[in-house]
Amino acid sequence: MINISIHNADDKQAVLQAYSVALTEELNSYPTVNFMYDITGHNATVEDMLDQGTIFEINGQLYRHLNSNPVPVGNFRTYTVDAIHIGSMLQDNYVNPSLKGKHSIEDVANAMIAGLDGFKFKIDDKFDPIDFGDDGIESGHGEDILNTIVEMWNCEYRFDNKTIHIAKAVGKKEDSPGFLFIDGNNVSKISWTEDYSNFKTAIHGYGKQIEIEVGGDDGDGTGGNLDNVEGFAKSPINADFAVDVNRMKSDFANRSWKVKARGVDVNRLYDVVKKNGVSPEWFFAYELMEQGTTYGWLNHTYAHGDPYQDAEYVCGWIKQIANSNTLNPAWTAAEGAISANSGLTAKWNSEFGKGTIGRVYLQGTAAAVWELAGTSGNSSMGKPMAGCVSVIKSWGGHTNSGHVSSGWGWPFPNNKSYTLGIGYKFGYDGGFRDHSYHDGTDWSKGLYSGDVHAIHPGVVTLVDGYNFGTGSGRIVVKGNDGYTVVYQEWTWSGSSGAHVSVGQRINIGDVICTLQASHVHIGVTTKDFNTAFSNSFSSAGGWVDPIPLIQKGGSAKGQSAPAKKSRAQEVIAYAEKYVGQPYVWGGPRGVDKIVPTDCSGMTSNIYKHFGITIGGVTYTQATCGRRISRSEVQTGDLGFYDPGCHHVVMALDNKRAIQEPQPGQNCNIFNIDSYAPSYWIRNDQMAALVAGGGNASDAGESSAKEKKMVYSCEADYISPLAKKKNIGYRWASPVSSETITDENQLKEWLKTQLQDYPDVEYSVDWISFTKNAGGYHNDLSIGNYGWLRDRYGLDIKVRIKGFTKYLDNSDPTNEGSITFGNTSKALRDINTYLVDDLKTLKQSAREVNNWISNRMRISSSSKEWLEQIKGNQNEGGSNDPNK
């Protein structure tokens, strides 16, 4: 019998006599106990003390009552009780850490135990701070925070009542063995079987998913500074450095290794970068400074998809890091390091605010940190920011104020009249012209002369010498409000007299060209220029009379305005963004994001984007509207499949629907009649939105910017064994972390996830937990290292990862167990690698299966230690009554 002290919620105390008391401990877990007691004699007074607040004291540790099961046995009842360590109170403690940016392990541990009476922690090793980024640590229970600590700092913990010990490795250190089992003494017949079925040498991993905005940005940034490196670093990430875009594209195409290696369309790449709100000239120059073909753009990380998808991803990363709450300089890199300087960190945080180029460089490129610090961590590394400034200047770039005008102005500001002859006016002219339609206005040299000025702001998209017969030259300027202006026929020779270049951003009043021919034609369209130009003699080209626009600032009645998508088109366009997203059962739902999820998660998220809540599972969504017939189906209606409405799809129109099909498949669009739902439901809110007409109200119009979930980082870990002959690269399945956002930290974590060693099964005929070998006292505590030695002198170093032992001898059939885990050294004199499978070592008088996990080679120091006790290994017999 074992005496157990108990203390319940009513502050009653007593002593319980128990038997078959089994204590179970595992690494990084709460210890548990299981025991039995009979309601007889002394125990009869404690039966009513078991409640939700009962605490047991066993072996000097406190345990909480989990459950009890009374069973009648003859004239009394027998209770079986389960209890868990007092440390499990972390499961009940909900905290909101509010920890963003860089924090120490102590900061996080303090948040973990906040509000828990009597709890404290002890950090037994030195740990570096970790940057949790802008997302920080999410709210959760203390146990969740403890698991975050374990993952982020790759550490272990153990409980001593309400004190949590955190260390790189709990237990005795590896160079201080705590136990010894010797074949023929306190263990018998050690043997093993090796299995290489799960052996891998390479693994790819992903960091925490983050949310970025993609698209929806016209790319017209504010001004950029090229006067010096500091000014450049203070420029916004979408800065306009007023380069000659054609010259830049040509030079980049000729010099970029990735462009040549991957056949990149530079024009398309330029558009992707600009659309995603990043300065193309900076992006291109940054890439030329980095160069290389192994990684993605800017050598940030591995390429994500094709070059254009990767550019979108990198732009998302740029925007994320540029807007971080705290600037954490990259003092170190694989190429070198300099000492961290808190003074410079504070200075740079002040100088390079959110959204600046410097905030990106100083956190993403160590060489840029060294450049501004004036101290190099590697003399062979250049100065990336100075290099960027030089490259951008070589493309004609210069400091640009970035001021953008708006509205409309006159092409000849000193002559604000519009004396135009009948053939020079806009629109239908009753047959005066061959086609009876004029797509713009002609400004005659007889009335106007000199420079032609921009009538509307925008970006130059075309400059050429197109010959119209009545003059040549063509300049197209695209505004960000849906209007495009064309200036043409100002010269007799090609594009002579043009003052702008493609890619240049212009304001009202900037000189476009000098009038050299008989007139200059100015046209305005609301359609794509190529479409408009092919309809030059028809209103189908979307042409607009420039004069009322100039006079009334674009608000003239009767003018066709740039068309907005109908609400149905908006719903369809947003839903189609899900195409290709993998099916993830139980994925995010009710969120305004494009994320991998399941069928009801997708429909829930699409509806959420438009402000409608329909529930997160099919059976609630099936009740969010009224049934309609197949013929009535329109955009946004939901289709359900029996039995039990187990699947849901959303109609894009009367013929097509979109769905997340099933595990292993991606979101797709299908023909409704080829896979007809059992019935259709119409949600009135969605129906009202879809019926909203051609021009969505500003209040309900969906944002052009979309949110997208991407991985914050990714990396590979390659085992040294991959270089061995006949082994090579054997890839494990990819893994992902819910907390890691740093690539170097991810690589370290991946080392712990790769099984580059075989499964090894060990077995013994018997093992004693009480008999010592060689006069060495066995300390069988969690985390302790020790040795197994077989009868042939084969030494195996192991570590205790878990055990179950009985604290009494009331039942000789009770079996305990030990789990031995891996160590940091190789196993034997030969290159044998063993796995950490955490299988159970069963103790019995007949056979014990010992699954051991190791990756180790016997070291000289370990051999010396074994030699010291070798002389004693035959002492004592094997007739141990406690085996």
CA distance 873 to 870: 5
Determine the pLDDT at residue 449: 80
In whole angstroms, give the CA distance from residue 21 to residue 805: 8
Return d(Cα 75, Cα 157) in angstroms, integer: 45
Q: What is residue 269's predicted lDDT score, i.e. its pLDDT?
A: 93
Burial of 665 by CB count in 10 Å (0-12 exposed, 13-18 middle, 19+ buried)?
Answer: exposed
3-state secondary structure string across 551-568: HHCCCCCCCCCCCCCCHH
Q: Which DSSP state fits 109? A: H
pLDDT in tens, 2-12: 999 999 988 99
Model pLDDT for residues 284-301, shown as the tens digit of each residue:
999 999 888 888 888 877
Quick one: fold of 422-550? Glucose Permease (Domain IIA) (2.70.70)
Distance CA 522, CA 543 (A): 11
| All CATH 2.70.70.10 domain ranges in the chain, comma separated | 422-550
Residue 594 three-state SS: strand
In which band, very low, low, confident or very high, does the pLDDT at 760 lie, cut at 50, 70 and 90? low
**What Å distances lie between residue 432 and 471, 538, 539, 541, 718, CA to CA?**
19, 15, 17, 20, 77
Q: Kindly give the pairing relationship between strand 759-764 and strand 163-167.
A: unpaired
- Give which of 353, 388, 206 is closest to 283, Cα–Cα: 388
pLDDT confidence band for 517 (50 / 70 / 90)? very high
DSSP helix/strand/coil, 227 = coil
Q: What is the C-alpha separation between 856 and 760, in angstroms, rounded? A: 13
Phi/psi class of residue 308: alpha, beta or left (left: φ > 0; alpha: ψ in -120 to 50)?
alpha
Positive/negative CA dihedral, 846, 852, 856, 862? negative
Top-confidence range, 208-222, 293-307, 406-420, 460-474? 460-474
Look at residue 747 and tell me whether its pLDDT is greater than 60.
yes
How do 13-26 and 32-38 pair as beta strands?
antiparallel
d(CA 278, CA 236): 9
Q: Stretch 606-631: mean pLDDT, rounded?
A: 88
Closest Cα to residue 788, out of 188, 195, 25? 188
Percent of the chain past pLDDT 90, that is, above it, reads 31
Dump the DSSP string for 340-389: --HHHHHHHHHHS-TTBHHHHHHHH-HHHHHHHHT--S-TT---HHHHHH
Residue, of 798 and 630, whose pLDDT is higher:
630
| Amino acid (1-letter code) at residue 424 | Y
| pLDDT class of 61 with cuts at 50, 70, 90 | very high
Residue 514 to residue 490: CA distance in whole angstroms: 7
> Average pLDDT of 233-246?
85
Backbone angles phi, psi at 681, to 5 degrees: -125, 135
Residue 744, pLDDT > 70, answer yes
Cα(483)–Cα(632) distance, integer angstroms: 38
* Residue for token pair 């020079």: 424
Q: Where, residue-wise, is CATH 3.55.50.40 in the chain?
A: 96-167
CB 849 within 8 A of CB 761: yes
Report DSSP letters for 121-186, one per residue. Answer: EEE-S----EE-TTT-PPPEEHHHHHHHHHHHHT-EEEEETTEEEEESS-SS-TTS--EEEEBTTT
Going by their DSSP bridges, the two strands 427-428 and 437-438 should be labelled as antiparallel
Q: How confident is the model at residue 556 (pLDDT cuts 50, 70, 90)?
A: very low
- C-alpha torsion 756→759→765→766, nearest 10: 60
Residue 281: strand, helix, or coil: helix
Count of CA atoms in the C-beta half-sphere (13 A) of 518: 6
Q: Tell me which amino acid residue 412 is.
A: F
Q: Can you give the pLDDT at residue 770?
A: 73
CA distances from 98 to 26, 103, 123, 128, 270 (A): 31, 11, 21, 20, 39
β-strand partners of 596: none
Cα distances from 773 to residues 31, 767, 795, 876, in angstroms, run: 28, 12, 14, 8
Q: Per-residue pLDDT averaged across 207-220, rounded?
A: 56
Selection from 300-309, 718-727, 793-802, 806-815 with the highest mean pLDDT: 718-727
**Rounded Cα gap, residues 655 and 674, in angstroms:** 10
The yes-or-no verdict on residue 697 having pLDDT over 70 is no
β-pair type (441-444, 505-506) = unpaired
The pLDDT of residue 854 is above 70: no
- What does the block give as tokens for 766? 């018997």
Quick: pLDDT tens for 170-197.
998 877 888 888 888 877 777 667 788 8
CA angle 457, 462, 466 (to 5 degrees): 125
To the nearest whole number, what is the mean pLDDT of the chain? 80
Token pair in block for residue 830: 């030969």
Residue 466 burial by CB count (10 A; 0-12/13-18/19+): exposed, middle or buried?
A: middle
Contact 686, 612 (CB under 8 A): yes
- Dump pLDDT digits (tens) for 671-686: 898 889 999 999 988 9
Return the DSSP state at 219.
-
Q: Is the pLDDT of residue 252 over 50?
A: yes
- As a dihedral over the C-alpha atoms of residue 509, residue 511, residue 513, residue 517, rounded to 10 degrees, the angle is 60
Instruction: Write out pLDDT tens, residues 87-103.
Output: 999 999 988 887 887 88
- Looking at the chain, the whole-number percentage of residues with pLDDT higher than 70 is 82
**Could you give the CA distance from residue 830 to residue 349 in angstroms, rounded to a whole number?**
54
CA dist 20 → 23, 480, 813 (Å) = 10, 79, 10
**CATH T-level assignment (fold) for domain 567-700:** endopeptidase fold (from Nostoc punctiforme) (3.90.1720)
Whole-angstrom Cα distance, residue 356 to residue 683?
Answer: 44
In the chain, CATH 3.90.1720.10 sits at 567-700
Question: Strands 451-453 and 511-514, how do they pair?
Answer: antiparallel
Q: Is the pLDDT of residue 496 over 70?
A: yes
Q: Residue 509: pLDDT band by 50, 70, 90 thresholds? A: confident
- pLDDT tens, residue by residue, 438-487: 889 988 887 888 889 899 988 888 899 999 888 999 999 988 777 899 99
Rounded mean pLDDT of 225-238? Answer: 90
Please report the beta strands in 39-134, taking only residues with DSSP state E, as ranges in sequence order: 55-58, 61-73, 76-85, 94-95, 102-103, 120-123, 130-131
Amino acid, single-letter form, for residue 266? V
Tokens 């009331």, residue located: 810
Cβ neighbour number for residue 305 with a 10 Å cutoff = 11
Burial class (CB in 10 A: 0-12, 13-18, 19+), 181: buried
pLDDT at residue 882, rounded to an integer: 35
SS percent in the chain: helix, strand, coil, step 5: 25, 30, 50
Q: For 130-140, how does the pLDDT look when each residue is reduced to its tens digit (9 = 90+)?
A: 877 666 787 88
Domain 2-88 falls under CATH 3.90.1260.10: no
For domain 96-167, which architecture applies? 3-Layer(bab) Sandwich (3.55)
Q: 418 versus 180: which is more confidently predicted?
A: 180
In this predicted structure, what is the pLDDT of residue 738? 73
What DSSP state is assigned to residue 731? B
- Output the pTM of the full model: 0.44
Q: Which residues contact 563 (CB under 8 A, 6 or more apart)?
A: 526, 694
Distance of alpha carbon 659 from alpha carbon 644, whole angstroms: 17
pLDDT tops 50 at residue 840: no
The larger pLDDT score, comparing residue 344 to residue 220, is at: 344
Q: Are 592 and 578 in contact (CB under 8 A)?
A: no
* Element at 607 (helix H, strand E): helix 599-609
Of 840, 838, 798, nearest to 816 by C-alpha is: 840
Alpha-carbon torsion angle 149, 802, 92, 7, nearest 10: -140
Residue 874: helix, strand or coil by DSSP? coil
What SS3 class is residue 7?
strand
Whether residue 842 is predicted with pLDDT greater than 50 in this model: the reply is no
Confidence category of residue 386, pLDDT binned at 50, 70, 90: very high
The Cα 731–Cα 715 span in angstroms is 13
pLDDT of 641 higher than 60: yes
How many Å separate Cα 493 from the centre of its chain?
55
* 160 or 876, higher pLDDT: 160
For 649, the token pair is 């799809």
- The predicted pLDDT at position 18 comes to 95
DSSP 810-836: S-TT---EEEEE--SS--BSS--B---
User: H/E element holding 571?
Assistant: helix 567-576
| pLDDT at residue 214 greater than cutoff 90 | no
Greatest mean pLDDT among 414-423, 602-611, 662-671: 602-611
Report CA torsion sign: 666, 670, 674, 675: positive
Q: Which amino acid is at 394?
A: S
Report pLDDT for 477: 93
Around 76, how many Cα atoms within 13 Å sit in the side-chain half-sphere?
A: 11
